[in-house]
Amino acid sequence: MATLTKDSLAELSRLTGLDGTGQNYSTPLFYKALMQVMPPVVRSMTNVRYEGIERIPKSGPVILAGNHTSHIDPIVKMMGARRPVHYLAKAEFFEDKTFQKLMTSTGQIETVRETGGAQALAMAVDVLEGGGVMGIFPEGTRSRRTEAPFLQRGKTGVARIAARFPEVPVVPMAILGARNFLAPGSPKVNPFARVMVRIDKPISFAEWMVDEAGGAMDNEDISNLGSLDEHGQRSIMKALYRGFTDQLIENLRILGAP
């Protein structure tokens, strides 16, 4: 398979228009300590099983992308990664006194949707630049559907972040059975419910771009893209984001995401 040059990778990253805050991001020490202790404890107390867990990189920046049907999904990802995972979370969680302390002490990122989430995306850039793990639910929010299929059309934010870091692996994680463990709107947890997490081979945006079944673009195509006017660049990048996102959602469906 063809590969992209450093210039092409840099151009892809530039075309996303995403920049960090300019500050070095560091995972809170409490969260780091928690992830040294909690994963084996929680996994020993629950019926959560993982297929392909060895595919999650043990170091370096990573994007974990999965379906979202239950409030336990972020925890399931953390337990599988055994690394601190950072999420873009609704502002409501930071305003609720029950969750506020938890969100800040584990380094989660507040998303204010009314302002477009620009600050949150900048902080996501900081996390990945610092070698951290971003957990993303491509659907944008927990599925509100009451019957299967629960998997919704993805939003393209995951693709834009992946394109900003075109060599960072994106790991598809299909979570099955989470609704049986903790159903939406229910305060009751069924600790005996089986949850299966199927993890596929990671793919980077750069790999997807040169794949004939993906972006199908080479270094010359990217150079030509960079020479277009702003409208032309936005139009093509928008189409690429949509293509990457749709294929990611289809990947999750094939893995069994309900």
- Please tell me the total count of domains within the chain: 1
State residue 120's pLDDT score.
Answer: 85
State residue 16's pLDDT score.
Answer: 97
Q: How far apart are CA 76 and CA 67, in angstroms?
A: 11
pLDDT, one tens digit for every residue, the chain (258 residues): 679 999 999 999 999 999 999 888 889 888 998 888 888 877 777 889 999 999 999 999 999 999 999 999 999 999 999 999 999 877 666 776 666 777 888 888 877 765 557 888 899 999 999 999 999 999 988 888 888 999 999 999 999 999 999 999 999 999 999 999 998 887 888 988 999 999 999 999 999 999 999 999 999 999 999 999 999 999 999 999 999 999 999 999 999 999
* Residue pair 50/174 in contact by the 8 Å Cβ criterion: no
DSSP lists the bridge partners of residue 30 as none
Encoded tokens for 45: 């107390």
Is 238 part of any domain? yes
Is 78 part of any domain? yes
Is 1 part of any domain? no
Its domain, for residue 31, covers 6-181+188-255
CATH number for the domain spanning 155: value is 3.40.1130
Whole-Å CA distances, 159 to 32, 181, 182, 244? 27, 30, 29, 6
Of 8, 23, 12, residue with least CA distance to 161: 12
Bridge pairing between strands 170-176 and 195-199:
antiparallel
DSSP lists the bridge partners of residue 195 as 48
